Amino acid sequence: MRSEKVMYFTPREEEFAQLLMDIGLKRNVAKVLIYLANTTDATSRDIERGTDLRQPEVSIAMRTLKENGWIESRESKAESKGRPVKIYTLSRPIEEIMDIIEKEKRKEVETQLDLIHKVRDYISV
């Protein structure tokens, strides 16, 4: 039997995940993003164990992160026979990803405020 080191969320990382969820990220995306921000690289299985997410939840999160251009993946030959294992890493620092999220949220707020101003224009007519 081989020994593996499994990383788990600290209370601080749980709080970080909750903050990301509060600003609109989905739970699984927030947890995977934080997990990858705290490790150099990880397999899907590592992420499942460390975030306490199921395989389909990790896959959905990875798809979202990949669409945003926030992760990269490479394949590594499996230790035994079978399919190669995908290894994931963040494609940019977490600070840069947070800048992107902030920019998107500011744009959403501006759009909502513009709509409120238009509604007010209808009221005052």
Check whether residue 100 and residue 76 sit in a common domain: no
- State whether 102 and 124 are in the same domain: yes
As a whole number of angstroms, the distance between CA 29 and CA 21 comes to 9
Residue 124 pLDDT: 80
3-state secondary structure of 103: helix
What was the pLDDT predicted at 78?
67
CATH code of 23's domain = 1.10.10.10
pLDDT at res. 84:
83
Residue span of the structural domain in which 120 resides: 93-125
Same domain, 83 and 116: no
Write down the pLDDT at residue 3. 43
Are 87 and 97 within one domain?
Answer: no
Name the domain count of the chain.
2
Determine contact, residues 28/58, Cβ cutoff 8 Å: yes
Is the distance from CB of 76 to CB of 87 less than 8 angstroms? yes
* pLDDT of res. 8: 74
Distances (CA, A) of 119 to 12, 64, 89, 106, 112: 41, 34, 45, 20, 11
Residues 35, 61 share a domain: yes
In this prediction, the residues of the chain whose per-residue pLDDT falls under 70 are: 1-6, 78-79
Residues 62 and 100 in one domain: no
Question: What pLDDT score does 82 carry?
Answer: 76
**Nearest alpha carbon to residue 60 among 93, 19, 31:** 31
Tokens standing for 74? 């490479």
Average pLDDT of the chain is 90
